[in-house]
A and B are shown apart, each in its own frame.
Chain A
């Protein structure tokens, strides 16, 4: 279980608890966090669950695979802080993670 905070493009914050084993995307969709579209349901096919990870957390997350890297290269609004939240599975280690959301997933 991890408490994860999402900050939207206007600075509004929402903190939710996500069970271990779910992806961050699944937890966010279940909690109705606006701004995570996840059109493909977690198949790493659409890049509509992008989040920004702060510097101090970047190395503490499981590494990106080649697919995620490729999708992010072409994802609107993506930069070096970006991850696809469907590709990060939650564990206790992620407790306290703070993510920010892009202005749009499209």
Chain B
């Protein structure tokens, strides 16, 4: 029987999967079903260079549009998958047509968490996830305008950096007591608060938004008694995995579609990759869902290898990055559960330092701020479960090369 593989979703993971299948010599028919009008593109630049107008969409494609044709991948864009029939092995798309599959890969990604607050449907309250979202935001960025960003995570702060450089009056409202609380340790959060203040951003932590006010356009963000004037509001309060199709099809879902190390669900014909998945991470020994480019690419490569019957690629320490102003933040590993934080350099002055996180003497994570050697060396050390000497880690006179595994 001829194999036919259907991918639901057209994000970073889906694009890499199509590329890896082609590279691994997959012989069956591949169909990629995506809701957006674009072939898979890279999302990280959306809140950075694409927002700033420094790169155009054609430079964001995971593979050039011609690749799909050349590799026999059928792109069904502007198309929504509405149901999976696992007994018939079909995917139903809007309009009712059924696409048969022998293998199905869910690459449904995640969506911005919505704030179910009064006034969230006012004109001028926007979210940032897609090219279309960014085009809408960009059209409203103009010097002097008041931008209120709800959420001090990566997306919100990257947007703040671009907008501050474009001379908007920017306010960031964060509910937690510190910025990027889910992603970095407190020392790094403190640095980013200083950084954004230095760049003219009004950062307010520990404040909960209670609603948005305005007649038809938003004019204020309301936080209890306080009101913040706004010409534009962007909400960036995290992402929720798109698991509805999987759940409705009876697949296991626990804040993410449950998969194994090879990205297989309990149904041997169904895989899932990227932001939408949850699994026991073999390297971190934790049950988790990762939202990152590295994870999307890695799972796509693993799934492609599994589908093609090839050995999986070696896994790497999970890593993440964020560019804000002239500051590159690179993170590797997950710092949750650390018992020791070692600082190298000064977080309180300048814009270059690193924090190493250890648990029981083992390096488990690093947050590196304009510190590529610290990041690169740590990535390898974390994978090797190395026990670097903490006093030497914190000593700038000891080159990172000295810790090489």
Pairwise interchain contact A71-B314, C-beta atoms closer than 8 A: no
Pairwise interchain contact A74-B19, C-beta atoms closer than 8 A: no
Q: Does A103 contact B (CB under 8 A)?
A: no
Q: Does B377 contact A (CB under 8 A)?
A: yes
**A residues lining the B interface (CB < 8 Å):** 22, 26, 29-30, 32, 34, 37, 39-41, 43-47, 67, 70-71, 73-75, 106
Also in contact, A74 and B400, with CB within 8 A (given A39-B294, A39-B297, A40-B321): yes
Pairwise interchain contact B42-A41, C-beta atoms closer than 8 A: yes
One of A26, A39, A73 near B401 (C-beta < 8 A)? A73
> Across the interface, which residues of A come within 8 angstroms of B138, CB to CB?
none
Pairwise interchain contact A71-B372, C-beta atoms closer than 8 A: yes
Tell me the smallest distance from the CB of A80 to a CB of chain B, in Å: 15
**B residues lining the A interface (CB < 8 Å):** 19, 22-23, 42, 44-45, 59-60, 63-64, 67, 293-294, 297, 313-314, 316, 319, 321, 323, 328, 330, 372-373, 376-377, 379-380, 400-401, 404
> Across the interface, which residues of A come within 8 angstroms of B321, CB to CB?
40, 43, 45
Beyond the given A70-B376, A71-B372, could you list 12 further A-B residue pairs with CB under 8 A, ordered by the A residue number?
A: A22-B59, A32-B19, A32-B23, A37-B297, A40-B321, A43-B323, A71-B376, A73-B401, A74-B379, A74-B401, A106-B313, A106-B316
Pairwise interchain contact B376-A73, C-beta atoms closer than 8 A: yes
> Across the interface, which residues of B come within 8 angstroms of A71, CB to CB?
372, 376
Pairwise interchain contact A106-B314, C-beta atoms closer than 8 A: yes
Pairwise interchain contact B19-A70, C-beta atoms closer than 8 A: no
- Please report the C-alpha to C-alpha distance between residue A70 and residue B22 in the assembled complex, in whole angstroms: 33
Tell me the smallest distance from the CB of A98 to a CB of chain B, in Å: 23
- Please report the C-alpha to C-alpha distance between residue A29 and residue B64 in the assembled complex, in whole angstroms: 8
One of B23, B44, B67, B373 near A74 (C-beta < 8 A)? B373
Pairwise interchain contact A47-B63, C-beta atoms closer than 8 A: no
Tell me the smallest distance from the CB of B73 to a CB of chain A, in Å: 12
Tell me the smallest distance from the CB of A88 to a CB of chain B, in Å: 15
Also in contact, A29 and B63, with CB within 8 A (given A70-B372, A74-B400): yes
Tell me the smallest distance from the CB of A27 to a CB of chain B, in Å: 10
Tell me the smallest distance from the CB of B393 to a CB of chain A, in Å: 15
- Please report the C-alpha to C-alpha distance between residue A106 and residue B317 in the assembled complex, in whole angstroms: 11
> Across the interface, which residues of B come within 8 angstroms of A75, CB to CB?
376
14 A-B Cβ contacts within 8 A?
A: A32-B22, A32-B63, A37-B297, A40-B293, A41-B44, A43-B328, A46-B294, A46-B319, A47-B376, A67-B372, A71-B372, A74-B376, A74-B377, A74-B401
Tell me the smallest distance from the CB of B291 to a CB of chain A, in Å: 15
> Across the interface, which residues of B come within 8 angstroms of A67, CB to CB?
328, 372
- Please report the C-alpha to C-alpha distance between residue A40 and residue B42 in the assembled complex, in whole angstroms: 9
> Across the interface, which residues of B come within 8 angstroms of A32, CB to CB?
19, 22-23, 63, 67
